[in-house]
Structure 1
Amino acid sequence: MFKPSWALLLSAVPTAVSATDAVEHISVYANRIPVATSEVLASVSVLDRADIEARQASDLPALLAQLPGITISRDGGRGQNSGLYLRGGNNGHTLVLIDGVRSGSATLGYKTLSMLPLALIERIEVIRGPRAAWYGADALAGVIAITTRQASGVELTADVGSYGQAGASINASQQQGDLTLSATAGYSRADGFNVRNDLDNDRDGYQQRFAKLVAAYQTGLGLWRGQVDVNSGFYQFDTAWGSEDQAETLNRSYLLGWEHQQGSWQHQAQFSRTLDDDTTYGPVSQSPYVTERDEFNYQAATALTDSLSGLAGVNWYQESVARSGVAYVKDNRLNRAAFAGLQFAAQGLRLDGAVRRDLTDQYGGNTTWQLAAGVDLSDAMQLRLSRGSAFKTPTFNDLYYPGSANPDLQPEKTLSNEIALSYQLAAATLQLAWFKQDVDNLIQFDFATYTPQNIERAKISGVELSVDLRWDSVEQTISYSWLDTENTLTGQRLARRPEHNVNWRLTQQWQQLSGFVTADYQSDTYQGEYASSPYLGGFTVFGVGGSFALSPALSLSAKVDNLFDKHYQTSSGYETAGVNFGLSLQYKLP
């Protein structure tokens, strides 16, 4: 899917509101077309650039951990590997889109987020619940859609922090008639800390460089856009498996997109090529893993009547293992798909439906669908119900990695239900959702046979509550998630899914000065039968921060994370950061 024009998106999303006004965000990806989040029949969270900057998160996993339904398991600090569990799904059950493009390693089966810099991100949309009827494989638990930077004017940012953290970035754009050029570049690094006290007694840090160039040209035949992204660097880690303890990374993407409004029809098309390169190495060996993906999307949307609209399109992608340290029995696969959906809205009733047919050269055809209904109980309250299916094909590592593969694996399949109630006023917003997901053929690694196996079924259910209160210059947000998971084969909880999660944030604005306080709680987690510590205890971590506008163009921000130096782990054996600070300076010219 190609994102809508920035003129449309920026005109639709307010960038600054008073604390007493409710912010109406726009969802771009939930239905593949721009829709106000209050009209989307799914649980959606949207963070724009102002939100990202205000939260002052150390990296993308830390930012996502503040949102409802998301749990992050970290193998160390900034730059090290982290796992994302959305609504109890596996790490690979959340599809990550970057500028509308499917991203991630074909060997791992998911996108690693720890080396995706926040300085490169303009907007994040998290859709909780299956979206395979629109996007195909991997969207079992939901979708995280990231839009990269395309700032107006010139923006310079520099930051420093604990553990040798330092970074700088620049964003610039220029318009000449119908041509708009924009560029982003940056650098970041940290010495880090020792993430495994029982292994190498050294610091585990990272370095990173990134750049992006975009050209957009408006013609009578539509808006054409070309884009190149490069993100490279290295990170250090500790492992008990072999001597390799560093990795070089390279992510590169090329995009060519087109969109055109013709009468009531909106056409979008995009071709992309992406490369994901992660090479681990040590004193005596190295293991490269390079995967590539070519993808084409086309969709057309139109209003069929005053109350009924439709969208249909096609999707094609081919992914391959371009280079690896081991020989895979099969190193490429092809997926072709067609999808269509209808949206109806009239007199306080909304109905959504979508269906998609995927055809892979490994497993044949797979049909997914979703249905949703929403009823306005009053001007401020809405009740919605949804049901949908999804699937995920086994990864190249699952099927073909020498010595630990299982070529007999079947695709994971899910059926999900959700019932939600939302209440929105100018000074208060409340969302309460119950969800249930049955996962058939869930793939779990079996340490007894040292191969991945399909278990008969996993059951996942939970409740999410989010509250946003605004009064004068004070805003308070609270989210609570309760999760119940079960591996029906063993009767045990699924690993690394805490039963309870609470995120609290209080912000206040005093003219040019703003400040915030945060508290994040996570209950104990089951780490797995073969983990060094099968259970990890719960914890609460506090943070404070603020920003001061030195001038209309210059601002200074500071924050302290883990204020009381809490010692805790989210992945068995791996340390997390102690008390740490960050300081950043930002200069903007229109």
Structure 2
Amino acid sequence: MKKISLFYFWIAWICPLILVGQTDTLLSIPEIKVTTTKIRNHPIGTLSKTWNASNTATLLASNVAELLNNESSIFIKNYGAGSLSTSSIRGGSAGHTLVLWNGLPIQSPMLGVLDLSLLPMNSSEEIILQKGGNTALWGSGAIGGVIALNNLPDFNNNTFTSSSIQIGSFGNTAQRFKIGLGNEQVQFVTKVSHQEAKNDFDYFVASNLPRRTQTNARFSQQNILQDVYWKINKNNTLTSHFWQQFSTQQIPPHLAQNKSEAHQKDQSTRAILDWQQTRNALILQGKLGFFKENQNYFDDASGLKTNNRFTTFTGEINGQLFWKNKHQFFVAASHFYTQAKSDGYEGAPTENKTALLFSYRLQQYNYKIQTSIREEYVDGRLVPFVPNVGVDYQLFPWLKIQSKVSKNYRLPTLNDRFWRGAGNENLLPESGWSEELTLTTHWKNKNYTCVFSVTGFNRNIKNWILWSPKGGSFFWSPDNIAKVWSRGLEPHFAFTFFTKKINIKLDTGLDYILSTNQIAITIPRIAEGSQLYYTPEIQGFANINLEWKRFYFFYQHQFTGEVKGFNKMLPSYHVGNIRIQYFTKKTKCKTIVFAKINNIWNKDYRVIERRAMPPIHYQFGINFIFHKS
């Protein structure tokens, strides 16, 4: 009850602020785009993929985990509907994906990961996926890749609202609302969402056993986001972002259990204040961030109760200088202070991190070069500096070559360092070098475009942290005991055919990734040269989009090769999803009606062993969009 009351308190608090944004006087000020600087969002030498507000409405996703699972070839470790979802990019661990919100990391410093299913699609206007090592630009954890969520203003769209209602199988319902009010100087944007599901689907345990109904699997989440954009004058902009989130997850029994009474409650508060000044060829930016999370775990059957919470304060200043249209210089300094508390800690450990970053980009008519270096100081210790160098070269009008070499690292988490009776404060950062090469070619005429790219990558990480028993005891503790070699190929093909009446798009990719341990380990038993757990060697996708008049048809097919679980091999599987929608559009209003069928072939499969995935299920919804420029 307290959670619901606080949720609606924020709504009541924010609505008056929105109304203040309406004014009778319009000031004509040139637009300043408030976002993370391009030199970091789109680094040289690697491919990145961007989804923005204009195309997320047509996607088969309600959260970031679903988006990446449907629209990219990275592996999403999904523990089941309404449960934890993390990523593995290019054979890395979940902690090797850095998640950013408006340029600041938001994953837990205690665990080093973030549940991607808790990031709703309407929480940001732009989502960027960067594959490959980017530690020099973003810091610890960016070994496999970066997922960046950005909130962006649209001062040309002064008044707009959007709302959606969705219902689906297994008690799945969702309501989302967004409103923006303001003028060419000030804009207020508020987003509210609520989603819940029972997830009481039937699934197979074994061929010789009857189907079982999943129990204790309810999920509920509420979000409130408030963005304020203020053009102080033609050179200065002040922006604030606020995000309050509540979620409750029951944890269902796995296939070896008959019953579960476990559940978890999460509450997070995120706030960012961002100032930006633009003067001729110089951009200055300052950021302050505050992040607080509280996680409570309960198991009524065993009486177990745990509480984990942390608070992080962060600040960053950066500057970007453009010189003679060829040179870009970027300098940044940041500091992070974190305090964590847990039933598993003694006291309240803290972590202080200070980082310096320098990046330079040279742009000529047919090539670009970017080099970056970072130095961090963590709790009184210097982390060895990390460099990277990237090159884009337009060899022919139809052929582009990209290459990057980088050193990357991930710091030990607070749990690794401070867990009572097990933590190891002498752990070294996981670190190593990565290299990649991409060839991209394209053809086009008046009715079609065709793009083919292939990326080859190689990465060696030493001091990989694993938890294992020590000295013949039953207690596990972390240590730098593994060395992992990841390498692979990522071909991608996109074809678009368009006329005045119809658009057809085909998007396909098939990744081949080997990520093997190079040191034999006894417990957990890992043979030298064996593929890492839950890391498929082959994963592919094929998406088909068809637009005709006011109709939109989308089919998405995914293939995941067999993976090694902790107890047995999990077989490969195919999953298909369909979305059909129809929209009506007037001058200022747009209505979208849609239907989705997920797992249309009704496949019985497992992403994580002993965790059931839902059979064929349905979702129906309607979206209303209104805008007034």
Q: Calculate the TM-score normalised by the size of structure 2.
A: 0.84
Partners of 1:328 and 1:60 in 2: how far apart? 35
Aligned partner of 1:497 in structure 2 is: 535
Deviation track 1:167-195 (CA, whole Å, cap 9, x = no partner) reads 11111111145221111111110011369
Pair 195,499 (structure 1): closer, same or farther in 2 beyond 3 Å: farther
Aligned partner of 1:478 in structure 2 is: 508
Identity %: 15
Q: Is the 8 A contact 2:86 2:113 kept in 1?
A: no
Rg comparison, structure with higher value: 2
Letter of the aligned partner of 1:521 in structure 2?
F
Partners of 1:215 and 1:330 in 2: how far apart? 34
Aligned partner of 1:459 in structure 2 is: 485
Q: Is the 8 A contact 1:482 1:501 kept in 2?
A: yes
Alignment of 1:202-351 (within 5 A): 202-220=215-233, 222-238=236-252, 245-283=262-300, 284-321=303-340, 323-328=341-346, 331-351=349-369
Aligned partner of 2:417 in structure 1 is: 399
Partners of 2:410 and 2:119 in 1: how far apart? 23
Letter of the aligned partner of 1:373 in structure 2?
V
Q: Is the 8 A contact 2:135 2:142 kept in 1?
A: yes
Aligned partner of 1:578 in structure 2 is: 615
Partners of 2:363 and 2:194 in 1: how far apart? 47
Pair 295,436 (structure 1): closer, same or farther in 2 beyond 3 Å: same
Give 1:232 shift: 0.6
Q: Does 1:31 align with 2:53?
A: no
Partners of 1:377 and 1:68 in 2: how far apart? 27
Give 1:29 shift: 6.4
Give 1:150 shift: 5.7
Alignment of 1:107-256 (within 5 A): 107-148=110-151, 152=157, 153-176=160-183, 178-193=185-200, 202-220=215-233, 222-238=236-252, 245-256=262-273
Letter of the aligned partner of 2:299 in structure 1?
G
Pair 330,290 (structure 1): closer, same or farther in 2 beyond 3 Å: closer
Pair 465,371 (structure 1): closer, same or farther in 2 beyond 3 Å: same
Aligned partner of 1:54 in structure 2 is: 58
Q: Does 1:468 align with 2:468?
A: no
Give 1:196 shift: 9.5
Q: Is the 8 A contact 1:57 1:63 kept in 2?
A: yes
Partners of 1:49 and 1:6 in 2: how far apart? 22
Partners of 1:176 and 1:68 in 2: how far apart? 37
Pair 394,215 (structure 1): closer, same or farther in 2 beyond 3 Å: same
Aligned partner of 2:600 in structure 1 is: 563
Q: Is the 8 A contact 2:200 2:214 kept in 1?
A: no
Partners of 1:157 and 1:496 in 2: how far apart? 36
Of 86, 90, 95, the residue aligned with 1:92 is 95
Aligned partner of 1:16 in structure 2 is: none
Partners of 2:413 and 2:179 in 1: how far apart? 39
Give 1:326 shift: 2.6
Partners of 2:442 and 2:559 in 1: how far apart? 26
Unaligned runs of 5+ in 1: 11-26
Q: Is the 8 A contact 1:76 1:195 kept in 2?
A: no
Pair 58,212 (structure 1): closer, same or farther in 2 beyond 3 Å: closer
Partners of 1:148 and 1:192 in 2: how far apart? 31
Letter of the aligned partner of 1:445 in structure 2?
W
Q: Is the 8 A contact 1:69 1:87 kept in 2?
A: no
Pair 538,403 (structure 1): closer, same or farther in 2 beyond 3 Å: farther
Deviation track 1:147-176 (CA, whole Å, cap 9, x = no partner) reads 247675111111111111101111111114
Give 1:422 shift: 1.2
Greater CA drift, 445-454 or 141-150: 445-454
Give 1:550 shift: 3.2
Give 1:589 shift: 0.6
Give 1:58 shift: 4.3
Partners of 2:204 and 2:381 in 1: how far apart? 44
Partners of 2:38 and 2:437 in 1: how far apart? 17
Q: Is the 8 A contact 1:274 1:293 kept in 2?
A: yes
Letter of the aligned partner of 1:429 in structure 2?
V
What is the root-mean-square deviation in Å for CA atoms of aligned residues? Answer: 2.5
Q: Does 1:369 align with 2:390?
A: no
Aligned partner of 2:457 in structure 1 is: 435
SS at match of 1:66: helix
Q: Does 1:507 align with 2:524?
A: no
Partners of 1:178 and 1:99 in 2: how far apart? 21
Of 349, 359, 364, the residue aligned with 2:377 is 359
Pair 326,239 (structure 1): closer, same or farther in 2 beyond 3 Å: farther
Partners of 1:584 and 1:196 in 2: how far apart? 26
Deviation track 1:55-86 (CA, whole Å, cap 9, x = no partner) reads 22243212112344410111111x31122101
Partners of 2:456 and 2:406 in 1: how far apart? 14
SS at match of 2:117: coil
Q: Is the 8 A contact 2:200 2:213 kept in 1?
A: no
The size of the alignment, in residue pairs, is 560
Partners of 2:452 and 2:89 in 1: how far apart? 20
Deviation track 1:497-519 (CA, whole Å, cap 9, x = no partner) reads 10001110001111100101121
Pair 288,564 (structure 1): closer, same or farther in 2 beyond 3 Å: same
Partners of 1:407 and 1:103 in 2: how far apart? 23
SS at match of 2:39: coil
Partners of 1:298 and 1:464 in 2: how far apart? 36
Give 1:452 shift: 2.4
Q: Is the 8 A contact 1:75 1:195 kept in 2?
A: no
Letter of the aligned partner of 1:147 in structure 2?
N
Letter of the aligned partner of 1:522 in structure 2?
T
Pair 196,133 (structure 1): closer, same or farther in 2 beyond 3 Å: farther
Greater CA drift, 267-276 or 187-196: 187-196
Give 1:6 shift: 12
SS at match of 1:204: coil
Deviation track 1:206-233 (CA, whole Å, cap 9, x = no partner) reads 1111111122211135001122110112
Q: Is the 8 A contact 1:211 1:229 kept in 2?
A: yes
Unaligned runs of 5+ in 2: 1-28, 206-211, 520-526
Deviation track 1:22-76 (CA, whole Å, cap 9, x = no partner) reads xxxxx9667226x6xxx84212111112332212224321211234441011111
